[in-house]
Structure 1
């Protein structure tokens, strides 16, 4: 029984890997940046060699109550111009977000991540809420709700939207959320699911 189970797991793993393009054949040909939470100087990104994970790290993405209403909300939109072999399409599976938050009692911090694929209808989303009192690093993984796929025969760009927000409460209190932790950098890791047409 155990041998049969192991063989089944191995078969599924090999089948899943075979669905992805060959290692090194998926590239990022360009990225555009929009929003007050990012710029070309404050974002780093990389594909895993098998193109099944995309990591994005922000060095200056912080929502805070320190300046009144000015920085309560930060947004960044990244558009990735992808190049991948014909005969494949993709969707996003999960996203892992790492960061840091310090929130007084009754203060709420939110990180909302969405994605859409150029030329396709629909937006996948994942939301993470943190409630004060809170003073710690965080790491959360979630599947996207209402995920959307690219299509066969067309190479489509991937658009990622990240929003960080602090709700100071009434009366207003102090809070900060930054979207790796100890160095106050938000890191996101997206799992990419590839399939053959």
Structure 2
């Protein structure tokens, strides 16, 4: 029995060595293309980074603010990001959650809302996550939330990851008018959107 146990252990170790890992090797995942469109992310106001262990995709913005004291268009800002991830064959990925860091100043009853979704080119389905802040509120915030209906990439086929993000403020119908602002650009300058990436061998 001891000999059998040793053989089984050796087989398991050999499988691990030959690529049956649960995530790509450190440093093997990179971004080869990162582009944006939308009034929430003008040129040169965003950046994307992948962590060394490939479990975090961080997106930072510097001009993505929804505020009530502008025209109706100023209350809702959107950004579409197209991300080309390069990674070794033999793995699939999915975005399972997101951490949102930002700043909001909301009068009583005013809502600040983040809605983010993603899809993978050529794959059905869309993952969705929503964060809502309700006034009175004034300060930095950090919220973590899971994606509803996460989408999994295709094995051994690199497809573009598409991220849609919207920040908006809803002032309600109060008299006198109430105000609010929400932005993923916190005063403490920490990263803004951090996507939690899960990997599986395929």
TM category (shorter chain) comes to: 0.7 to 0.9
Deviation at 1:57, TM superposition (A): 0.7
1:146 aligned to 2:130?
Answer: no
Partner of 2:198: 193
Q: Equivalent residue of 1:151, what SS?
A: coil
Number of residue pairs aligned between Structure 1 and Structure 2: 182
TM-score, with normalisation over the residues of structure 1? 0.87
TM-score, with normalisation over the residues of structure 2? 0.85
RMSD value, Cα: 1.8
Rounded Cα–Cα distance in structure 2 between residues aligned with 1:20 and 1:135: 39
Runs of 4+ in 1 over 2 A off after TM superposition: 183-186
Q: Equivalent residue of 2:54, what SS?
A: coil
Q: Equivalent residue of 2:192, what SS?
A: strand
**Cα distance change of structure 1 residues 64 and 186 upon mapping to structure 2, 3 Å threshold:** farther
Rounded Cα–Cα distance in structure 1 between residues aligned with 2:29 and 2:189: 30
1:39-78 deviation per Cα after TM superposition (whole angstroms, max 9, x unaligned): 3400022111111111111111100012131300000111
Deviation at 1:153, TM superposition (A): 2.5
Q: Equivalent residue of 2:73, what SS?
A: coil
Alignment gaps of 5+ in structure 1: 1-14
8 Å CA contact 1:178, 1:185 repeated in 2:
no
1:176 to 166, 181, 190: 181
1:94 aligned to 2:97?
Answer: yes
Partner of 1:166: 169
Q: Equivalent residue of 1:18, what SS?
A: coil
8 Å CA contact 2:116, 2:166 repeated in 1:
yes
